[in-house]
Amino acid sequence: MEAQEIVALEQQYVVHTYNRPEFVLDRGEGVWVYDTEGKAYLDFLGGIAVNALGHCHPAIAQAIEAQACKLLHVSNLYHTAPQALLARDLVESAPGIDRIFFCNSGTEAVEACIKFARKYGKANGGKTAFVAFEHSFHGRSMGALALTAKAKYREPFEPLMPGVHFSPFNDLEAAVQLMAEVKPCAVIVEAVQGEGGIYPASPAFLQGLRQVCDEHGALLICDEVQCGVGRTGNLWAYEASGVQPDLVSVAKPLGGGLPIGVAMAAQRVASLLEPGDHGSTFAANPLICAVARAVLSTINTPDFLASIRAKGAYLGGRLEALAAKRDNITEIRGRGLMWGVETPMNTKDVLPAGYREGLLLGSSGEHVIRLLPPFIVEEGDIDEAVARLDRVLAGA
Ligand SMILES: *Cc1c(COP(=O)(O)O)cnc(C)c1O
């Protein structure tokens, strides 16, 4: 089938919630994807922080093959080994976390955290409000969307979950004041904000939030859907600040390309949850759990995490050098393999110029180019991507 015909089918039959470029992706290998015409693209978006091990990683392919021939799905009414083992692996990876709730996406992971925090808050003084931050993104359901800062995403669908209060990001004083006023059951924060523009939280901000949560008996929820599972060079992005959250939402990279979501909970929250409180038909089937175990065990080694920090520092250095020579870069922000390049240009023009150069880039709004390369990226790939980005910014 020709690319044009595939695009025409999509335009006729799929709800138009995405603007897609005119090519059709067909296969991938490592940091590269190829369209149906055979054109190669260096993938520096990684399926929006999902393809942490790149495309067609052997550990993932083998896990899929082995489990697909054994058992795919039986529902959560029964015990299966891959789920139990993945839960153990996750708990052991996160000090302070005692139990795992499984679901299918980042939004669902946040939604589970919302429900668990509500149950905790009601049992501890009847608290129901939430504090979230400007530039936050937590998902698209009526609860997760309520915690998402961008008015354009929220307003067409209001009324959403009530009782959400936004505070400026990285401004501890403002958060302290707001919390005294609204007495929330929980505060939700991304240690590095992703969709909102790649803004890293300062360690002092996260430490201060932990302290003020403790003072008010509120829970600290870290949304690690984008920044977690090694992206920043720590397995969990909040680790860099030394804080321990009460709830953690995880998704994007954990399934290596298959859908999985996880809400990780400390015992004092988990102990309030009973059969019937929450559930999912699809979640944590043996296939996705076998794959997630392969992903997690590949990433969660000291050497692999150190390699992410080294490559991340290299990418950051190359972007700084690019910024020094290009006046259409106004700021570079990021950590590990998560970078934002702020530009006065519109990302609506930058991304298509990237496609022409054979480079897949992301955007965070109109003026931040977002880079989320797979963790298996090599320095040579980074050089090539930065050279292509240079041509994009020169010509777009
Ligand atoms: C993408 C994202 C979500 C939503 O995840 P989905 O899998 O798209 O539902 C939630 N929180 C953060 C921080 C994200 O980046």
Indicate if 123 and 223 belong to the same structural domain. yes
Same-domain check for residues 71 and 51: no
* 129 plus 269 within the same structural domain: yes
Can you give the pLDDT at residue 1?
87
Sorted by sequence, the CB contacts under 8 Å of residue 344 that are 6+ apart come out as 328, 330, 367
Residues 269 and 369 in one domain: no
pLDDT at 198: 98
CA atoms of 197 and 203, how far apart (whole Å)? 18
Q: How many angstroms separate the alpha carbon of residue 105 from the centre of ligand 1? A: 7
362, 372 contact by CB (below 8 A): yes
Domain end call among 299, 321, 340: 299
Q: Does residue 137 have its Cβ closer than 6 Å to ligand 1?
A: yes
Ligand 1 midpoint to CA 262 (Å)? 12
What does the pLDDT read at residue 132?
A: 98
Q: Is the CB of 195 under 6 A from ligand 1?
A: yes
Q: Return d(Cα 321, Cα 284) in angstroms, integer.
A: 43
Q: Take atom 6 of ligand 1 and give the residue whose Cα is closest.
A: 106
Question: Which of 248, 271, 299 corresponds to the end of one domain?
Answer: 299
Pocket flag, ligand 1, residue 251 (CB < 6 Å): yes
How would DSSP label each residue in 77-115? TS--HHHHHHHHHHHHHSTT--EEEEESSHHHHHHHHHH
CATH number at residue 10: 3.90.1150.10
238 lines ligand 1 (CB under 6 A): no
Residue 141 token pair: 């359901």
Q: What is the CATH number of the domain that holds 191?
A: 3.40.640.10
Whether residue 196 contacts residue 135, with contact meaning beta carbons closer than 8 Å, is answered with yes
Same domain, 83 and 50: no
Q: Is 110 in the pocket of ligand 1 (CB under 6 A)?
A: yes
Among residues 372, 363, 31, the alpha carbon closest in space to that of 197 is found at 363
Residues 168 and 278 in one domain: yes
Instruction: From 270, 299, 328, give the residue that closes a domain.
Output: 299
Specify whether 72 is located in the same domain as 191: yes
Alpha carbon distance 164, 237 (integer Å): 24
Number of domains in the chain: 2
67 & 18 share domain: no
Structure tokens, 294: 């392969």
Residue 8 shares a structural domain with residue 26: yes
| Site to substitute for ligand 1 among 142, 221, 226, 370, most atoms within 8 A of C-beta | 226
Instruction: Give distance in angstroms: CA of 107 to centre of ligand 1.
Output: 6
Ligand 1 centre and the CA of 225: distance in Å?
5
Q: 267 and 385: one domain?
A: no
CA distance 64 to 291: 6
The domain in which residue 140 lies consists of 60-299
Most informative mutation of 195, 199, 338, 372 for ligand 1 (most atoms within 8 A of CB): 195
How high is the pLDDT of residue 395?
A: 82
Could you tell me if 228 and 300 are in contact, meaning their C-beta atoms sit under 8 angstroms apart? no
What is the pLDDT at residue 364? 96
255 CB less than 6 Å from ligand 1? no
Mutating to test ligand 1, I would choose from 17, 48, 51, 110 the residue with most ligand atoms within 8 A of its C-beta, which is 110
Residues 102, 25: one domain? no
pLDDT at 378: 98
Same domain, residue pair 72 and 168: yes
Helix 379-395 vs helix 302-325: crossing angle, to nearest 10: 30
Q: In the chain, which stretches have pLDDT less than 50?
A: none
Q: How far does residue 66's CA lie from ligand 1's centre (Å)? A: 29
Cα radius of gyration (the chain): 21
pLDDT in the model for residue 396: 58
